[in-house]
Amino acid sequence: MRRFRPYYDRTIRSSDITDEAIYLSRRQLLGVGAAVGLSSMLPRGANAEQMLRPLKYVNASESGWDKDVDDQLTPYADVTSYNNFYEFGMDKSAPAKYAHQMTIDPWSIEVSGIERGDQTIPLESVLEQMTLEERIYRLRCVEAWSMVIPWVGFPLADLVAWLRPNNKAKYVVFETLHRPKEMRGTRSFSSVIDWPYREALRLDEAMNPLAFIAVGLYGKSLPNQNGAPLRLVVPWKYGFKSIKSIARIGFVESQPATSWQQIAPHEYGFFANVNPSVDHPRWSQRFERRLPSSLFSPNRIPTQLFNGYADQVSGLYKGMDLALNY
């Protein structure tokens, strides 16, 4: 089994997990049971027996990513029903209603800027090379709501190393699937996004051990509304950086324009690091609403710098003015 890097979140205790029956039962059935559960994350056309031979799995308690956590996990129902995925509509409930119309089998990723030349790589070829892990991360939306989610996936650094970007690469760019017939939000006349949705990271950010590619959550394959079949998770940044349903990855030399940065650069910067001292022009970022919440129980908590991951990522921005480089 691959040795896990010594970076982990020391602020979330697995003993505080919510009573999610599916998740708890999966944790009790690791081993053979894990292999069965993970088979659902593979494309349906793949030969499960052949695919699972090289597929390895490390759960959060083994890897250290759920140690000492004070936050309670957001229930599965909230994680999968309250989403921003504008390709399916602007309402939080729209992705859960309409994302099933997106075809995710088969799935491949167009890759450019790598040593061996531009390629289209089937998802199953990627999964064959990766060790799946479970990581519990906070997710902080720029809209000032937040969740705590047990993701299943693999380090982005492992994917970058396997793809081998060319020696000029300084940034990695991601694009979401763009299929208007299946994504009703992209057909809306009121949409302000120039599709496909685009996000990017500096290469050193992508190589940070916290950066993660998720293929599942709560021990199950990703629902379409959460970004199936694979999405980025960058827990120290606002949620819009964690791009969903990745269809293209490119390595480039110059800082690329990203979707929200193009739409409103005074509101959404390239870095989008969680920072309670830098307000959004239309609201404060000092506090957040941790889901589940309600009018009479708002569950309002203080926001932490870098979403609580400063020890692991602050060095990436040494010498930078975080108010200007927001």
Domain span including residue 218? 14-314
Residue 320 within any structural domain of the chain = no
Amino acid at site 157? A
Residue 137 within any structural domain of the chain = yes
CATH number of the domain bearing residue 39: 3.90.420.10
Give the three-state DSSP class for 217: strand
68 CB-side CA count, 13 A? 6
Q: Return the structure tokens found at 94.
A: 């729209």
pTM score, two decimals? 0.85
* Higher-scoring residue by pLDDT: 238, 36: 238
Q: Return the structure tokens found at 317.
A: 């921005």
Q: What is the mean pLDDT of the chain?
A: 86
Residue 323 within any structural domain of the chain = no
| pLDDT confidence bin for 67, thresholds 50/70/90 | very low
Looking at the chain, the whole-number percentage of residues with pLDDT higher than 70 is 79
Residue 251 within any structural domain of the chain = yes
Q: Please tell me the predicted confidence (pLDDT) of residue 190.
A: 85
- Taken in order 264, 266, 271, 277, the sign of the CA dihedral is negative
Q: Give CA separation, 72 vs 75, 113, 143, 272, in Å.
A: 9, 40, 20, 25
The 10s digit of each residue's pLDDT in 316-326 is: 999 999 999 99
Residue 33 within any structural domain of the chain = yes
Residue 9 within any structural domain of the chain = no
Q: What does the angle CA 62 – CA 37 – CA 128 come to, to the nearest 5 degrees?
A: 75
The 10s digit of each residue's pLDDT in 109-156 is: 999 999 999 999 999 999 999 999 999 999 999 999 999 999 999 999
Averaged pLDDT, 202-209: 98
| pLDDT confidence bin for 59, thresholds 50/70/90 | low
Q: Please tell me the predicted confidence (pLDDT) of residue 71.
A: 83
Question: Which positions ≥6 away from 5 have C-beta within 8 Å?
Answer: 155, 209
Rounded CA separation 185/264 (Å): 19
Residue 2 within any structural domain of the chain = no
Rounded to the nearest 10 degrees, the angle between the axes of helix 32-39 and helix 21-28 is 130
Give the three-state DSSP class for 249: strand
Residue 129 within any structural domain of the chain = yes
Number of domains in the chain: 1
Rounded CA separation 22/114 (Å): 39
> Residue 271's CB: how many other CB atoms inside 10 A?
19
